Amino acid sequence: MPGGRMFEKQIQMVDLHRQYLRLKNDIDTAMQSVMDDCSFINGPQVKTFSRHLAEYLDVPSVIPCGNGTDALQIALMALGLKPGDEVIIPAFTYVAAAEVVALLGLTPVLVDVDSRTFNINPSLIEAAVSPKTKAIIVVHLFGQSCDMESIMSLADVHHLFVIEDNAQSVGATYTFPDGRTQKTGTIGHIGTTSFFPSKPLACYGDGGALITSDVQLAERIHQIANHGQVRKYHHKQIGCNSRLDTLQAAILDVKLRYLSEFTQARQLVASRYDEALSSCQDVLLPLKSSFSTHVYHQYTIQVEEKKRDLLQAYLKERGVPSMVYYPLPLQLQEAYRGIIRIGGSLQESDKLSRSVLSLPIHTEMTESEQRHITDSFAEAILAIARLS
C-alpha cells in the first residue's frame, strides 16, 4: 500500500499528557498539599475522594483499594466464596476476573457475549448455572452497562451474588424497564472499579475501589483490604494489603470534578466516528444499548478477520494507532487451560477476538485530528477493497 500523509502531531490512543496540561494547576496544587503533609498512606484526601465518589454514584459508601484486580479479589473474599465454588464470567474480557477467581481456588465458568454490545449475553447464563455456581461477575465492557435487569432477576432465582466490574464504565447510567435509573457499579451486590491511568476515572498510577450498599458487606470489605484488621494488630479474617495511596486519591478528587465533562467529550468523539464511518463498507460500528448510556472507554469496530491486519498497518503508516482489545478470548488463554469450565458455545467471543479493532478516543481529541483518522480509515477501507 502507498505510504500516506501523517498528521502534524503524534496521535495517541489516549492522550494523558494533553489532559494533564489542561488540569495542571488543579492537579499540581492537590499533589503539593499531600507533599506538604507527607500523609502518603491513608491521608485525609483518601476519605474525601471516597466520600465524593459515593455522592456521585449515590451510594452510602465507597471503599478504596490498590487497583481494580484487587477490588475483584476482595469482593470474592468478602462474599465468603469457598474453593470449588463456581463463578460465571464473560469469555470476552480483560483477564482480571478469571485471574482472581482462579487465584482463590474457585472455578471460572465462561459464558459468551452479545456480538454487538460485547457484554455478557444474559440469555446464555442460566444454562451455565450448576449447583456449585455462587456468583456472576459481569463486566461493563468498553463503556456501557450489561443488561442488569435480566442479570439481577436470574441471580435472584438462582441465589447468586452479582459483582459488577465497572472499571471501563464509570459514569454510565443504566435505565431499568420501569424508568428508574442507577449508575453502573451500584446495582449488583458489589461493584468494583479500576483507576488505571487510561480508564474513564483515572489516577496517575494504580488505584481501585469497591462499592456496596450493604453495610455489613462494606465493613467486611474494609477489613479485608486492610489485612483483615478490626483494630490495629487484631486480625479477624485473612485479608490483604490493598490501599489507594493519598497522592492518587488527591488526583482522583480533581479528576472526579471533570468526569461529566470528560464523558461528554468522549461521547462527542464517538458521535463523530459514527457519522464519518457509517458509510464505510463491511465495517460494523459499536451498538449502543437502549438501556444504558455509553461513556466510550473504547470505540470498538468490527471488520472482517482477514482485513484487520491490513487495516491496522495502513492506519499505522498514516500515524493512526489502533488496538485489539482483546486478541484472545479466555477459553484460548494458556494459563486457564484445565481451570475453566465452558458454560456453552463461545463462538461470539471467539469471532470477536478476530474482528475487533479499537480506534483512538480521548478527552482532548480535536476535530482536525479526528478528521485525519476518519479520512485515513475511509481511504484504507477503499484500498483494501481494491486489493480483494
Summarize as ranges the residues that interact with ligand PLP (CB under 6 A): 67-69, 94, 96, 139, 165, 167-168, 194, 196, 206, 208
Please tell me whether residue 302 adopts helix, strand or coil conformation. strand
Q: Which is nearer to ligand PLP, 69 or 293 (CB)?
A: 69
- 3's CB contacts (< 8 A; 6+ apart) are 317
Distance CA 231, CA 218 (A): 16
Question: Cβ 199 to ligand PLP, closest distance in Å?
Answer: 7
Between 109 and 167, name the residue whose CB sits nearer to ligand PLP: 167
Smallest distance from ligand PLP to CB 97, Å:
7
- CB atoms inside a 10 Å sphere around CB 342: 14
Per the CB < 8 A criterion, the answer to whether 154 and 161 are in contact is no
Q: Which helix (H) or strand (E) holds 276?
A: helix 259-277
Residue type, 112: D
Query: Which stretch of DSSP H or E encloses residue 193?
Result: strand 190-194
185 or 360, CB closer to ligand PLP? 185
Joined grid coordinates for residue 314: 495502513
Q: Cα–chain-centroid distance for residue 114? A: 16
Nearer CB in complex with ligand PLP: 4/68: 68
Q: What is the CA radius of gyration of the chain?
A: 21
Residue number, 194 or 223, with CB nearest to ligand PLP: 194
Distance CA 299, CA 271 (A): 10
Q: How far is the CB of 98 from ligand PLP (least distance, A)?
A: 10
State the first-to-last Cα distance of the chain, in angstroms, to the nearest integer. Answer: 13
Q: Which residue minimizes CB distance to ligand PLP?
A: 68
User: What amino acid is encoded at 143 in this protein?
Assistant: G
Q: Say if CB 124 and CB 146 are below 8 A apart.
A: no
**CA gap 297, 286 in Å, rounded:** 12
C-alpha triplet 204, 196, 81: angle, nearest 5°: 140
Cβ nearer to ligand PLP, comparing 4 with 185? 185
Q: How far is the CB of 342 from ligand PLP (least distance, A)?
A: 21
Judged by CB, which is closer to ligand PLP: 314, or 326?
A: 326
State in angstroms the smallest separation of the CB of 367 from ligand PLP: 28
Residue closer to ligand PLP, measured from CB, 140 or 222: 140
Tell me the closest approach of the beta carbon of residue 254 to ligand PLP, in angstroms. 19
**Which CB, 310 or 340, lies closer to ligand PLP?**
340
Q: What is the number of helices (H) and of strands (E) in the chain? A: 11, 15
C-beta of 107: minimal distance to ligand PLP in Å?
19
Do 204 and 197 contact (CB within 8 A), yes or no? yes
Q: Whole-number minimum distance, CB 6 to ligand PLP, in Å?
A: 29
Minimum CB distance to ligand PLP, residue 177 (Å): 26
Contact between residue 81 and residue 163 where contact means Cβ atoms under 8 Å apart:
no
